[in-house]
Structure formats: structure tokens, C-alpha cells
Amino acid sequence: MVWDLKISNGTVVSGSEMFQANVYIKDGAIGAITNETLEEEASETIDATGKHVLPGLIDTHIHSRDPGPTYKEDFAHSTRAAAAGGITTVFEMPNTTPPVNNAANFDLQKENLSQKAYVDFGLWAICIGPLNNANIKELNAKGVIGFKFFWGYAVHKETYQLMYNYKPGMENVIPPFDDGDVYEMMEEVEKTGKLFAVHAESSELIQKLTDRVEKQGGSSYEDLLEGRPNLAEVLTVAKGIEMAKASGVRFHVLHVSTKEAVDTIRDVQKQGYPITVETCPHYMFLSNEDYEQIGPQMKVYPPVKYKKDQVGIWEGIADGTISHVCSDHAPHTEEEKDGDLWSIPAGMCGVESMASLMLNAVNDGKLSIKDLVRLLSEEPAKLFGIYPKKGAIRVSTDADITIVDMEKEMVIKRENLHSKSKVTAFDGFKVKGVPTHTIVRGKIIMKDGNIIGEKGTGELVISGSNKAGVVS
Ligand code: DOR
Ligand code: ZN
């Protein structure tokens, strides 16, 4: 037999151990992990001496807007960016046009993205209350990764596009769902055993406070935070927790931005409830104090908060309250982001810079490389029901591998990003620790920053239900 690929002499890392080994790959799967040199030849060899060999990194939260406003981003661009940044699997958010709201649209999306994907992908489904409660079961059977609910967002009547800056009285808009609607969605998703994941910000509070600040003529970042305060997040998190306890749904808080929410979730986890939470690099590495230098590029929802929140988030990472880190890659064009802080859209690129920022944090002593593997690969795979096919370097699992050079230095530059939009808060950030190879099911997609893989290589990843027998 001839191996397809050999990764020689690297340090293989999992969430719990690290050892020197050669990794042999055949037919897209890992065939052997050994400190010996096997007799059989390999068609191709990567010398990983001095490098770390990680299970392929997973970004569980990206918005490629495809189909939809693809002038901002599309799946070919976002997955090239993912590959450039060492990511082997992405989970695509469902706020597309059409959204992933029923089985037929799931199939359309699978078809659409399969033709464009440079890396593997999973699909989130959207929850839009009474508009698709009846479709939750079929979406689960299709293998969606989880169910996303944009709590507090209004949606367009025909397209179900999210309305980012909703004001009561807007035309052709379905206003944000009420608690009764949310509870019913939870009941439906509970039957699948999959995650009910929420964007947690109280729209009632935000509307009232933002209106007030705007009327006073406020236009600074501090004003934005006054209109969209920490309370907006923790209110919704606390309510969601109580509703999750009652409904039994697997509640997951997306992109946490406040210390208060992290502390609340820690407490409920201690009581034994399986409630989970993720965060993103911008909440780990930025605070309001960076706005002066970075400017509107760093506007995201929920907004980046204060230094004490950054500290609280790091505490949540250190003690395991926070399950994993994802990018919330949500590009808008440069033109759209160039305006007054109230009216510009929230969101920025993230999928390409996440791994390097995290590797840099390892070099800074904030994390261990095993922690990084846990946060960017192992836990996401476990949480979303695709482990150990993904998230592990183990014989017979998918040969998804990210090789990193912990000594290599790089400056993140907007012009080097592979996304359509170049909007990032991290332009000019110096990092030490860079992915050098992205390997998806044995195929080298990125080598030394160059994309050498092909469009359409990525395949859909199916998540089984956590409840036996639900997926038919
Ligand atoms: O900043 C954000 N951008 N937050 C969201 O919730 C949505 C996202 C987007 O799609 O632009
Ligand atoms: Zn998002």
C-alpha cells in the first residue's frame, strides 16, 4: 500500500495530550499515528519538524450571506478565508435569503454551498416561531448542526431577512417574537435534542435606551454601549435559562460579551444544567478602550464591552464555563461600514484571523496549545454531535488537520484577507503563531498562506441527534 500523505515528525496535540508522531493518511482518513517510520511510501510528505499538528479547527459561527446579499460575502470567499486561516470546517448561519427554515431550503442550501466550499461545512437552521415550528423535525432529520434564534430581532415578512435596526411601525416586518412564541420554539427544538442557540440581547431595553441616547444627540462608542448595555445581554440570558429549565431544551448562548452573562451561566452550570456558551476573539482581545484607534470597523452586535467584561470572559475560558471560541464572521462592505455609528451595520470579518489571534494568545501565555485545541476543535465537535469524525486526530477519523508554526510571526493586514470585504478590527495586529497547512479529509487546501485546494472540495457535515432514535 502507498499512503496518500505523510505528516512527519510534528507534535500532535489534542485537548489532553501532546506527543511527537508521524501521521499517515489514506483515502481521506487517518490511517496511522506512530513514532516509527512505516515501510510503505507516501505519495506526498509534509515535514512538520518543529511544528504542531492539530485536529482541524472548526468555526461554528459564520455568516457568508449566500444566497442573499452576496455583494458583502459569499461562500467561496468565506471558505477560502477559512482555509487561509487554518479552519477545516465552518458552520454556516441560516440568515440567508431564503433562510434554512425548512427541509426544501436545506436541500437548496446544501446544493448551493457544496459547489463553492473550500472546506467542510455544517448548516444551522433558523427558528422563526409559528412560521416554521412545523419544520423543526424535518430540519433535524436532515442533519442540521443546531437551531438558531435571533432573539429580539424583527424579520422581513417575505424574505425573513433580519432587520438589524428595527423600529416599531416599520412596514413589511414581523416584530420580534414574544416570550410565548419563544417558549413554543424551545418545545419544538427540545424534541430534537439539538442546541437552541440564541443571540441574546433584549430588544425592548435596547429600543428604549437607544432612542433616548440618540435623541440626546449621542454618537460616541460610549453612547452605543449606553443604548445597548450589559443588562440587555444578561436579561435575555437569565430569561432564556429559566425557559430552558422549564422546557428542557439544550440552551446555548452565542457570542457572549459580558462578565454578568458568563457569571450567570457559570452558576446555572454548577446547578447541573447543561447550558453552554461561546465567545469570539473580539470579546477576548478588544474592549471599548480600543474604539478610538479602531473606529466603526469594530461595531458588532452584541457590542464589544468594557475591560472588566474582557477579564470576565477570560475567567470563563479558564474555568471551562465557555465551551468554545468562534469568529461570528459577518462581513459588510467598506462603504457600508463608513458612516455614523448608529446607522452602519454591525459585523466584521473574523474567520481568517481567529486561529492566529488564538495562537498568539498561546505565545502570550494566556492559553496552552491544548486549551486552544479544546476551544477551537474538540469542544465544538463534541457540542454539535460530529465528534470524533471531526475534532480528533485518531485512526479512521476524517483527516482534517491544521499544522501551525508557533514561531512564525505575521501582521494581520486587511488587504491580505481572502474575504470579499476587508473589514476587520484586527488590521495591523502583530501575531506570533500562524497556520501553515489546512488539510481537509486528506487534501491540502492551504499551504504557507496560499490556497491550493479547489472550490467544491468541501462537503456537508451532518449532525446526528443527541436523542437516540429521533433522526430517521
Ligand atoms: O454583528 C452582528 N452581525 N451581529 C449579528 O447578530 C448579526 C451579524 C450579521 O449578520 O451581520
Ligand atoms: Zn452571528
Find out whether the beta carbon of 330 lies less than 6 Å from any atom of ligand 1: yes
Find out whether the beta carbon of 300 lies less than 6 Å from any atom of ligand 1: yes
Nearest to 166 by CA among 197, 203, 194: 203
State which ligand 1 atom lies nearest to the alpha carbon of 153: 6
Which amino acid belongs to residue 271? Q
- The span from the CA of 295 to the CA of 302, in Å, is 16
- The span from the CA of 403 to the CA of 380, in Å, is 18
Per-position pLDDT tens, the chain of length 472: 799 999 999 999 999 999 999 999 999 999 999 999 999 999 999 999 999 999 999 999 999 999 999 999 999 999 999 999 999 999 999 999 999 999 999 999 999 999 999 999 999 999 999 999 999 999 999 999 999 999 998 989 888 888 877 778 888 999 999 999 999 999 999 999 999 999 999 999 999 999 999 999 989 999 999 999 999 999 999 999 999 999 999 999 999 999 999 999 999 999 999 999 999 999 999 999 999 999 999 999 999 999 999 999 999 999 999 999 999 999 999 999 999 999 999 999 999 999 999 999 999 999 999 999 999 999 999 999 999 999 999 999 999 999 999 999 999 999 999 999 999 999 999 999 999 999 999 999 999 999 999 999 999 999 985 443 333 3
Find out whether the beta carbon of 301 lies less than 6 Å from any atom of ligand 1: yes
Is residue 170 left, alpha or beta, with left meaning phi > 0 and alpha meaning psi from -120 to 50?
A: beta
Alpha carbon distance, N-terminus to C-terminus of the chain: 37
Any domain includes 402: no
Q: What backbone torsions phi and psi does residue 273 show, to the nearest 5 degrees?
A: -85, 135
Q: Please count the CA atoms within 13 angstroms of the CA of 115 that sit on its side-chain side.
A: 8
pLDDT value at position 468? 36
Q: What are the grid coordinates assigned to 78, written together? A: 468565506
Find out whether the beta carbon of 346 lies less than 6 Å from any atom of ligand 1: yes
Give SS3 for 431. strand
- Is the bond preceding 388 in cis, omega lying within 30 degrees of 0? yes
Give the ligand with the smallest distance to the CA of 421.
1
- The span from the CA of 449 to the CA of 451, in Å, is 7
State which ligand 1 atom lies nearest to the alpha carbon of 300: 1
pLDDT value at position 469? 34
Any domain includes 467: no
Any domain includes 44: no
pLDDT value at position 465? 55
- The span from the CA of 20 to the CA of 18, in Å, is 7
pLDDT value at position 349? 98
Give SS3 for 360. helix
Q: What are the grid coordinates assigned to 276, written together? A: 453552554
Any domain includes 33: no
Which amino acid belongs to residue 435? P
Task: For residue 452, report the distance from its CA to the centre of ligand 1, in Å.
Answer: 30
Any domain includes 369: yes
State which ligand 1 atom lies nearest to the alpha carbon of 93: 10
Any domain includes 285: yes
- The span from the CA of 119 to the CA of 265, in Å, is 32
Which of 62, 78, 160, 300 most suits a substitution to test ligand 1, by most atoms within 8 Å of the C-beta? Answer: 300
Task: For residue 3, report the distance from its CA to the centre of ligand 1, in Å.
Answer: 43
Find out whether the beta carbon of 347 lies less than 6 Å from any atom of ligand 1: yes
Q: What is the CATH number of the domain that holds 138?
A: 3.20.20.140
Task: For residue 16, report the distance from its CA to the centre of ligand 1, in Å.
Answer: 34
Q: 108: burial class by Cβ within 10 Å (0-12, 13-18, 19+)?
A: middle
What domain count does the chain have? 1
Give SS3 for 181. helix
Instruction: With beta carbons less than 8 A apart as the criterion, state whether 47 and 6 touch.
Output: no
Any domain includes 42: no
Which of 61, 63, 66, 326 most suits a substitution to test ligand 1, by most atoms within 8 Å of the C-beta? Answer: 63
Which amino acid belongs to residue 414? R
- The span from the CA of 322 to the CA of 316, in Å, is 5
Any domain includes 30: no
Instruction: With beta carbons less than 8 A apart as the criterion, state whether 439 and 56 touch.
Output: yes
State which ligand 1 atom lies nearest to the alpha carbon of 299: 1
- The span from the CA of 13 to the CA of 406, in Å, is 13
What's the domain range around 200? 58-394+407-431
Give the ligand with the smallest distance to the CA of 164.
1
Model pTM above 0.75: yes
Rounded to the nearest 10 degrees, the angle between the axes of helix 259-270 and helix 230-247 is: 20
Task: For residue 336, report the distance from its CA to the centre of ligand 1, in Å.
Answer: 13
State which ligand 1 atom lies nearest to the alpha carbon of 65: 10
- The span from the CA of 467 to the CA of 193, in Å, is 5
Q: What are the grid coordinates assigned to 466, written together? A: 443527541
